[in-house]
Structure 1
Amino acid sequence: MTTVHAIAPRTALFLPASNPRAIAKARTLEADIILLDLEDAVPAAQKEAARDAAVAAAQDGFDGKLLAIRVNGAESAEHGADIAAVANSAADFAILPKAEEAEGVKKVAAAVGKPLMVMIETPKGVLNASAIAALDGVTCLIAGTNDLRSELRIPAAAPRDGLALALQTIVLAARAGGCWALDGVFNALDDVEGLEHECVQGRAIGFDGKTLIHPGQLAVARRAFSPTPEEVEEARALVAAASDGAERFRDRMIEAMHVRQARALIDRIDTH
C-alpha cells in the first residue's frame, strides 16, 4: 500500500517505552521517527507500565517528529492489550514484529486502524514479504536483521553477505507494494566506521533509511541516507535542463524517468 507520508525517514530510533529519560531525550534528538518499543527491549514485569508510558508519550507528542509504537507479537499475552492501546493512542504508526503471513498482518492492520510498519525477521516473512507489502494499511517493511541472522544460522560476527538475498527481497517487496523500506539495526555502538559502511551499503541496496538503537548513531545514518551536495546539484541542474523526451544532459542520455528521480531527490532534501 502506498504510504500516506510521501517522504521516507532516514533515521528511525528505537527506544524502550519503559525508559522515561530516553523518551524525554528523544524529543531533543534529530531523528526522523521515534520507535517506542513494547516488545524485546521491555522486561516482562514492565510490559503494562511501558504500554501506559507509550500512550502518554504519544499524547504529549515529539516536537513534530513521527512516532511509532512497536507492539508485542501475536504469540504474546500482551498482544491484544497492546493493539487496543495503540489503536486509541496519538501515535502515527504501529509496528508489528516477526510478521510471517499476510493474513495475520491483515488482521492486525484492521484492528489497530493506523498505518502499519511491519518487521520482516524470519525466512517465512521474507518469502511472504511481497504479499505483506501489498496489503491495505501496510506502509513500511523493516528488515529485522538480528533475527534473520539467527534464523538463517549466520554467525554473529560474519559480514552481511549472507543476508544479501533477504535484504534485497525486502526492498523489492516494499517497492512493489509502494511502501518504505528500512534497514535493520547495527549493534556495535562504538564502531562508527562499521555503521557508516553498513548505512552506505543499505542505501546502495535501496533502503530509504536505517533503524537505530542509540542516539550516537543518528548523525552517521542521517548523513549516509541523505543526498550528497553533488547529487543535489546534479538533480537541480537536470530538472532545469530537461525539456521533453530523450535528450543529452552533460555526459549521458536522460528521459522522463530520470527527471522524476531527480525531483524525488530534491523533494527529499527540501523536506528534511
Structure 2
Amino acid sequence: MIPLTWLYAPGDHPRTVAKALTSGADVVIVDLEDAVAPDRKEYARAATAELLAEAQPVPVHVRVNALGTPLAAADVRALAGLPGVSGLRLPKVTAPEQIVRVAERATPAGGGTPALHALLESALGIERAHAIATAHPALRGIALGEADLCADLGVRDDAGLGWPRSRVVVAARAAGLPPPTQSVHPDTRDLKGLAASCAHGRALGFLGRAAIHPRQLPIIERAYLPGPEEVEQAETVVKAAARQRGAQALEDGTFIDAAVVAAARRTLSLARRR
C-alpha cells in the first residue's frame, strides 16, 4: 500500500506511541529529536528500543537525533537492527557523506540496512538535494523539515517555500525516489487550513503528509486520494490504452500518450486504498 499518512509520536512517551500504532496512520514515526527534552533523550532511546524489539502492526520509523552527534550515533547503534524498525529518519542532512556514514553504521552483521529517509532543513541541504537523494541505495526518500528551513532562510510564510518545495520534489523524482511527503501542519486545530495546504502540496507533486495529531490523518488521506472524477478519467485512459497502443485522442478530445497512461495507473493504484 502506498503510504499517505505519517504520524509523529514522542519517543519518551511510550503510551502515546502505543496509541499512534492503532491510530490508522500508514506509518508511525517515533521521534527522538525535537519532541524530546535533552534530559530525557537516553530514556526515550531505551523505551523505543524496548518497544521495537518486536515487530509492530504498522511500519515504524524512528527520527534519530541530529547527525554528527554522540546521541545520533547511539540511536543508530541501538535501533538499526531491531525487528520493529522499518526505517530511520535522519534530521538536518546537509551532505551525501552523512547518508553513507549512517548506512555503514546501520547495517547489522547479517546485512539488511533499514530504509533511510533524509530530512532537508537548511539552505545547504536544499542546494545539495539531488546529491543527497543519490547518496546510497539504502536511502528511500527525502523530505523537507519546514520549521527549521524557515528559520534558516528567514522565511515568514508559504510564499518563500515555493522553490524549496519544488526543488525537493524534482530531486526525489530525478533520483528515482518516491514523491516526497509534505512537512507537518503545526496547527492541529486548523483542519480547513490543513486541507488547503494538502491540496497545494499535491499540486506541487508531494504525496502524503506527516502529522502531529491523529485528527489530522483523515484530512490528509482525503486530500491525497483521487476523487470520483479523477478515477473515472483514469479508468477511461487505461481502457483506451488497452484497446489501442500508442498516442491517441479520446472521444472528448483529450490527447493521451505513455506518460498520461502511467499517471492514470498511479491514480487507480491510489484509489484502491479506499
TM-score scaled by length of structure 2 = 0.91
Cα root mean square deviation, aligned: 1.4
Name stretches of at least 5 consecutive residues in structure 1 with no aligned partner. Answer: 1-6
Residue 194 of structure 2 is aligned to residue 200 of structure 1: no
The one-letter code sitting in structure 1 at the alignment partner of 2:128 is: N
CA shift, 1:175, in A, is 0.5
Instruction: State the Cα deviation string for residues 119-159 of structure 1 (Å, max 9, x = none).
Output: 0000000000101111221111111010111000112xx3x
Looking at structure 1, the residues matched to 55 and 36 of structure 2 have their Cα atoms a distance apart, in angstroms, of: 21
After the TM superposition, which residues 107-118 of structure 1 pair with which residues of structure 2 at under 5 Å, given as runs? 107-112=101-106, 113-118=113-118
* 2:81 aligned partner: 88
Higher relative contact order (CA 8 A, sep 6+): 1
* DSSP 3-state at the match of 2:52: helix
The one-letter code sitting in structure 2 at the alignment partner of 1:266 is: L
Q: Is the 8 A contact 1:8 1:208 kept in 2?
A: no
Looking at structure 2, the residues matched to 8 and 165 of structure 1 have their Cα atoms a distance apart, in angstroms, of: 26
Looking at structure 2, the residues matched to 264 and 199 of structure 1 have their Cα atoms a distance apart, in angstroms, of: 18
Q: Is the 8 A contact 2:14 2:48 kept in 1?
A: no
* 1:69 aligned partner: 62
1:165 aligned to which of 163, 166, 173: 163
Residue 139 of structure 2 is aligned to residue 138 of structure 1: yes
* DSSP 3-state at the match of 1:167: helix
CA shift, 1:245, in A, is 0.7
The one-letter code sitting in structure 2 at the alignment partner of 1:198 is: S
Looking at structure 2, the residues matched to 61 and 71 of structure 1 have their Cα atoms a distance apart, in angstroms, of: 19
1:59 aligned to which of 35, 48, 53: 53
Residue 44 of structure 2 is aligned to residue 50 of structure 1: yes
Instruction: State the Cα deviation string for residues 198-242 of structure 1 (Å, max 9, x = none).
Output: 111111110111111111111111111111122112112211122
Looking at structure 1, the residues matched to 12 and 89 of structure 2 have their Cα atoms a distance apart, in angstroms, of: 17
* 1:4 aligned partner: none
* DSSP 3-state at the match of 1:166: helix
The one-letter code sitting in structure 2 at the alignment partner of 1:48 is: E
Residue 100 of structure 2 is aligned to residue 106 of structure 1: yes
Residue 267 of structure 2 is aligned to residue 265 of structure 1: yes
After the TM superposition, which residues 168-179 of structure 1 pair with which residues of structure 2 at under 5 Å, given as runs? 168-179=166-177
Could you list the runs of 4 or more consecutive aligned residues of structure 1 that deviate by over 4 angstroms after TM superposition? none
Looking at structure 2, the residues matched to 185 and 257 of structure 1 have their Cα atoms a distance apart, in angstroms, of: 30
Aligned length: 262
Name stretches of at least 5 consecutive residues in structure 2 with no aligned partner. Answer: 107-112
Looking at structure 2, the residues matched to 182 and 117 of structure 1 have their Cα atoms a distance apart, in angstroms, of: 11
Q: Is the 8 A contact 2:12 2:43 kept in 1?
A: yes
CA shift, 1:271, in A, is 4.7
TM-score scaled by length of structure 1 = 0.92
